[in-house]
Structure formats: structure tokens, C-alpha cells
Amino acid sequence: MKRATWMAAASVLSQELATTAALLLGVTLVAFLILYLAPGDPFAALLGGRNLSGAERDAAFEALGIPTTWYGQYLTWIAHVLQGDFGISMRSGQPVVREIFSSGIKTLFLTVGSLIVTLAIAVPVAAYSAMQPSSLRARAGTLLVYLFSALPTFWLGYMLIYFFTRKLGLFPILSATDETQEYGWLYALLPVVLLGLCNGTLSEIVRYLREEIARVMNEEYVRTARAKGASTWRHAYKEALLLPVSQIIAAKMPFVLGGAIIVEQVFNWPGLGRVTWQAALDRDYPVIMAITLLAAIVVRIGSFLHRTVYVAVNPRALQQ
Amino acid sequence: MKKKFHQDVDTVSEYSQLSAWKSASTSDRLNVVYGFAVVLVVAVSYVLGAFGWLPHDPEAMDLDTMMADPFTNGYLLGTDFMGRDILTRLILGIQAYFLPSVLAVFIALGLGSLLGVLSGYWRRRFETPVTYFSNLIDSLPRMVLMLLVIAAFRPSIYTIMVVFGITTAPTIAMLVKGKVMMLRERNFIESAVALGLSPGVIIFKHILWFNCRALLLIQATIGMAEAVLLETSLSYLGFGVQEPTPSWGNMVQAGANYLLQGNFWPSTAPAIAIMLTVLGFHLLGDGLNNILEGRQNR
């Protein structure tokens, strides 16, 4: 590549990093303010529910070196985070980082796997119904996809568990942490498939992909390709498939994370979703803050990947 | 003589004299009819529930007929695990999400079109802050934000739905912004500006009402569908409407405890109700989209 291209790439990258930093600051600030404005006192909870009077509290804060203003506390949190210290979970007493890391890996498996499942279903259905919108098969496929994304996730999950454990007797009702069984791998796949099937976004993805594919297929360069007998897909796949799919992955990342909360609950999957839920129940402030930050980072990574694909497909975007 | 101004070949069909309904395909019409039927049933059930015109007492337990199949002992849809009439509870369950969802949709549409118009019409001044705001909201997974708010405030379903509305707004803002930017280039908006129409008239009448109402209507149907599913998810996590007040979500959730024993119906009946409703909203949105928006652009 030419030097100018590298320079352009570097400037785009630095711009992206600046945006990301601003957004992460904003997101954590919002989360912090919500928690700060909440009724109840986390400090009192730490003391086992003992309420201190205002003066006692201020004295205790000063002795412990805790700032009393909200911005002071927020800045302290940021300073700690920048040193890699996310604090200690108020519930388990474990360092937050360790707790989130071990469960995050499991959720990563779940979400990435489910995205693959979603795309494996959505892309064919969308492509088929974009090419032949009035064919019976396209309509049946679309309807089926809509049906699945209209079902309550946890109900379908219970039905799947019932079907596989009681009807087929493939495995007992246990969590994924169970010792290996003959069909244990299948049990690990169930939540992945479930999350891929009905995280509620499947219908949205099909709708979006269908629109995009239909639009691109009507573009003049595709028509030209078809007219001269060249492969239309070879000319169209970048704009009709690569871009929308990366866009979807970027845009749907947060929703898949949200869906994981339900699916993990149903399958006793010891992942981040369960940790989030537990933290919300217990008001485990350090854990909630860390999860918010992590989720925002994941979302930004997704959007950055989309940007990269966009530039790779359309290098002119760098020159602007 | 009525003469219409033609801009270019692609937009001619927009001036077609045939009504959109007549030129629509059969499947689109079916979708819209089914969707409207669902909306009607939900609305009527809401009114029935609000006035208390119910077939049975929603909390009366009939301990002799627990988990009955449909059509037993005058229970049209059977009974749940406590012998309560499922049909009654389904009708009453609409109370739990109907008004909050409508509120959420209105907030989403209002905030979304406000942001969209601001950033599309006065790009220089508002595009950067609106984009930042949208990105900010999109960076927080909706479910995580919900749990955050729930953790902090233990709020009612209304507050949760307000949050839902705010988190949906960026999507709508993007769509409205695209539309506004496209319309600003068009001659009729330019001439409206040249004629000295106030921005308020141009925005509310010529942009939002004449050109965005279809888009907003479609987004409203999608929003309703999502709100219904959100209520079920929250109920499952234990943050929704609490028993014994029925909601579709907590009915599925409570019935699911008996599912693994082979008693499908108490949980499946509300699940089917949810499915049919959400499907109705989705198909309504799809059909309206094809009839009002999609086909004319091709």
C-alpha cells in the first residue's frame, strides 16, 4: 500500500479511538449516575445494613480515603480501572476481573456460536426471498423465521430441554459444567441454537438483509453483469452480503448479549448473563459497572470491525 | 386539469393514481389484515379487561380442575396450575403491557423523530451531538441497561418501558434522518423553503406527516412486538408484573415450572398468545412496509 493510504488509515484509526474513548466515558458516566442516584446506600450495605449518621459517614469516608462528591467517586473509579483494578465483588468477595473473565469466555462461546446459527438461517432465507419474493418457499421460510423470533425464548428453551431429556432421554437435566457424557456436546449446543433461533433479532436481520440484497440486485452494475453473462453474485456479494452482514454483527452484538441473559438462565449456563442478573439482584455495584464497561467495549469492537470491512470493500472511504 | 410534477423516471410510480391497497400483492394484504385483526383483538381485550367484563374471576382457584385441557367445565382455554381460568387471565394479562408498551412506542417515535429531524434538517448544528447520543445508547446493550435501571430503582413497568422507548429512539432517528436528508434534496422541499414556509410547517406537514408517517407507523408495530417480548423476558427474570396479577410473561414463567413434568398447557397457552400477537405486529409492519414504502421505491 502507498504511504498516503497508511496515513489515511492511521487518521481513521485515531479518530475511531477518540470516539471510542468518548463513548466509553459517556456510557460509564451514565451507568454511574444511575447507580449514584439510586435510593439506598451501598456503603451501609457493606457495613451489614448499619446506617451511619451524616457526620459519622463523612468521617468514615475521610478515614478510608473515599471522595464524598459523585464526580470524585467517578474519577476514582476511572483511575482504578485505568490501573486494571475493577474492585471487589460485594457479593462474592472475589476480584471482579476474575469473576467476569471466567464467565465472559463462556458467554463469548455462546454469543459467537449463536451469531453463526442466526446468520446460517438468516442469509439463505433473506437471499432466497429477495431473489424470488413471491415464491412459496421464500414466504414459508420468512414466516417460519418470524414465528421463531416471536416465541418467548425461555419457553422454547424449556420445550427443548423437555424434548431432549424426557422424550429422547439423551442427557439428564444438568448444567454445562457436568462431567462429560456421551451426548454432552449436544447439550452445550442447545443453548447456542436456542439463542441463535430466537434472540428476537432474527426477523429483523432477515428483513434488513432482504431489503439490502433486493436493492443491490437492482443496481445498474449488477444488471450490466447479468446482461453480459457474468456471475451476478461475484459482483454483488461485497455490497449485498459482506457489508450488511458485518453491519448486522456490529449492530446486533448488544442484543445478543441481552438474549444471553435469558438463555443462560434457562440452561444454567455459568456465563456473563447470569452474573449480570445476579449483580442486578444484589446491587453489586462494582460488578455492574465492570459489565457495563465490558459490554460497551464489545459493542465498540463490533462497530470497529464493521468499519474495517467497510473500508476493505470500499477503499474510497479512506480518502474522504 | 390535475397535473403532477414528475421529477425523474424512478419516482413516477409514486404518482401512480392507483391506490396503494389496490396495487398491493395478495400476501401483503393478507399480512396487513391479519395484523389488524391482532391489533383489534388486543384492543378489544384491553377494553374488556379494563371494565372487568371477564368470563371468570381471574384469581378464583378451582382446585378440582387444575391444569385442565381446553373446553372442560366451561373453561374455554382450560385452567392453570392453580385452577384459574386461562382465558380470563390472558385477557386481563393485556393490562400489564398494553399501556406501558403504547407509552414506550410513543416515546420512541417522538424522541426518534425529534432527533432524526434535528440531525437531518440542521445537519451542521445537530448531527454530531445526535450521533454521539445515538452511539451512546447503542453502546449499552438494552438488556444490560434495563437490569441497571432495575437494580438501581426497582421501578414499575412504566419506568422500564420509558427506558425501552429511549433505547429504541436511535434506530428511528437514523431512519428519519435518512429520509429527511433525502427529502431536503427534493424540489418540493426546496420550493417550500423558497416560498418562505416556516421550518415548522415544512417539517411537521411536508416531511413528517406526508412522507414519514408510513415509516413511523411501521416502526410502531415493530416496537409493540418488541415491547411484548420484553415484558415476557422481564417476567422470566422475576422483574416483571408479580403474581397473582396476571401478565402474559408471568403466566408463561409460572407455567414453565410444570413444563418439565409434562404439563404443557398452562405455559403454552400464553406462549401461543404471545407468538400470535408478536407475529401479527411483525406481519403488519412487513405488509405496511411493502404497501406503503417498499414497492414504490423499486
Grid cell for residue B285: 409492519
Grid cell for residue A271: 456465563
Each residue of B225-257: pLDDT tens digit?
A: 988 888 888 888 888 777 778 888 888 888 887
* Angle separating helix axes A272-282 and A243-267, nearest 10 degrees: 60
Q: What is the mean pLDDT of residues A192-197?
A: 87
Whole-angstrom CA distances from B219 to B106, B113, B222, B285 are: 11, 11, 5, 7
* B138 or A177, greater pLDDT: B138
pLDDT for residue B97 is more than 80: yes
Each residue of B70-88: pLDDT tens digit?
A: 766 666 677 777 777 778 8
- Is A157:A267 a contact under the CB 8 Å cutoff? yes
First to last CA, chain A: 17
Substitution target from B27, B30, B134, B147 for chain A, most A beta carbons within 10 A: B147
CA A183 to chain centre: 28
Q: How far is A201 from chain B (nearest CA, A)?
A: 10
CB pairs under 8 A between A and B: 155
Q: What is the mean pLDDT of residues A210-232?
A: 86
Q: What is the mean pLDDT of residues A238-244?
A: 84
Asked if the Cβ–Cβ distance from B271 to A155 is below 8 Å, we say yes
pLDDT for residue B296 is more than 60: no
Report the pLDDT value the prediction gives residue A51, as an integer from 0 to 100. 67
Query: Which of A233-237, A285-289, B229-233 is predicted least confidently?
Result: A233-237
Mean pLDDT (chain B, rounded) = 82
DSSP H or E stretch at residue B252:
helix B248-256
Which of A150, A166, A300 is nearest residue B275 as measured by Cβ atoms?
A: A150
Q: How far is B206 from chain A (nearest CA, A)?
A: 26
* DSSP string of B148-186, one letter each residue: HHHHHH---HHHHHHHHHHHHHHHHHHHHHHHHHHHHTS
Cβ contacts (< 8 Å) between A166 and chain B: which residues?
260, 262
What residue of A is the nearest CA neighbor of B286?
Answer: A207
pLDDT for residue B197 is more than 80: yes
Q: What is the mean pLDDT of residues A141-146?
A: 88
Each residue of A8-32: pLDDT tens digit?
A: 778 888 888 888 899 999 999 998 8
Cβ contacts (< 8 Å) between B152 and chain A: which residues?
34-35, 37-38, 283
pLDDT for residue A210 is more than 90: no
Burial class (CB in 10 A: 0-12, 13-18, 19+), B9: exposed
Geometric angle at alpha carbon A137, from A132 and A143, rounded to 5°? 105
Cβ contacts (< 8 Å) between B271 and chain A: which residues?
151-152, 155
Q: How far is B53 from chain A (nearest CA, A)?
A: 28
- Is A270:A106 a contact under the CB 8 Å cutoff? yes
Report the pLDDT value the prediction gives residue B17, as an integer from 0 to 100. 61
* Angle separating helix axes A3-37 and A70-82, nearest 10 degrees: 140
Mean pLDDT (chain A, rounded) = 81
* Angle separating helix axes A243-267 and B123-139, nearest 10 degrees: 30
pLDDT for residue B5 is more than 70: no
* A300 or B3, greater pLDDT: A300
Report the pLDDT value the prediction gives residue B294, as an integer from 0 to 100. 60
Cβ contacts (< 8 Å) between B222 and chain A: which residues?
204
Q: What is the mean pLDDT of residues B6-18?
A: 51
Q: How far is A281 from chain B (nearest CA, A)?
A: 6
Report the pLDDT value the prediction gives residue B166, as an integer from 0 to 100. 92
What residue of B is the nearest CA neighbor of A288?
Answer: B148
Asked if the Cβ–Cβ distance from B283 to A146 is below 8 Å, we say yes
* Whole-number percent of chain A with pLDDT over 90: 2
How far apart are alpha carbons A193 and A111 in whole angstroms? Answer: 10
Per-residue 3-state assignment (H helix, E strand, C coil) for chain A: CCHHHHHHHHHHHHHHHHHHHHHHHHHHHHHHHHHHHCCCCHHHHHCCCCCCCHHHHHHHHHHHCCCCCHHHHHHHHHHHHHCCCCCECCCCCCEHHHHHHHHHHHHHHHHHHHHHHHHHHHHHHHHHHHHCCCCHHHHHHHHHHHHHHHCCHHHHHHHHHHHHHHHCCCCCCCCCCCCCCCCHHHHHHHHHHHHHHCCCCHHHHHHHHHHHHHHHHCCHHHHHHHHCCCCHHHHHHHHHHHHHHHHHHHHHHHHHHHHHHHHHHHHCCCCHHHHHHHHHHHCCHHHHHHHHHHHHHHHHHHHHHHHHHHHHHCCHHHHC
Grid cell for residue B224: 409493540
pLDDT grade for B119, boundaries at 50, 70 and 90: very high
- Is A142:A206 a contact under the CB 8 Å cutoff? yes
Determine the residue type at B31.
N
* Whole-number percent of chain A with pLDDT over 70: 88
- pTM value? 0.84
- Establish whether the linkage from the previous residue to B244 is cis, with ω within 30° of 0: yes
* B235 or B66, greater pLDDT: B235
Substitution target from B9, B140, B235, B265 for chain A, most A beta carbons within 10 A: B140
How far apart are alpha carbons B83 and A99 in whole angstroms? Answer: 43
Of A171-180, B35-44, B66-75, highest mean pLDDT: B35-44
Report the pLDDT value the prediction gives residue A45, as an integer from 0 to 100. 66
Report the pLDDT value the prediction gives residue B173, as an integer from 0 to 100. 93
- Is A270:A176 a contact under the CB 8 Å cutoff? yes
Grid cell for residue B20: 396503494
Report the pLDDT value the prediction gives residue B9, as an integer from 0 to 100. 43
Asked if the Cβ–Cβ distance from A146 to B136 is below 8 Å, we say no
Let me know how long chain A is: 320
Grid cell for residue B25: 400483492
Cβ contacts (< 8 Å) between A30 and chain B: which residues?
136, 140
Q: Which domains does chain B have, with CATH numbers?
A: 26-296 (1.10.3720.10)
State ipTM.
0.81
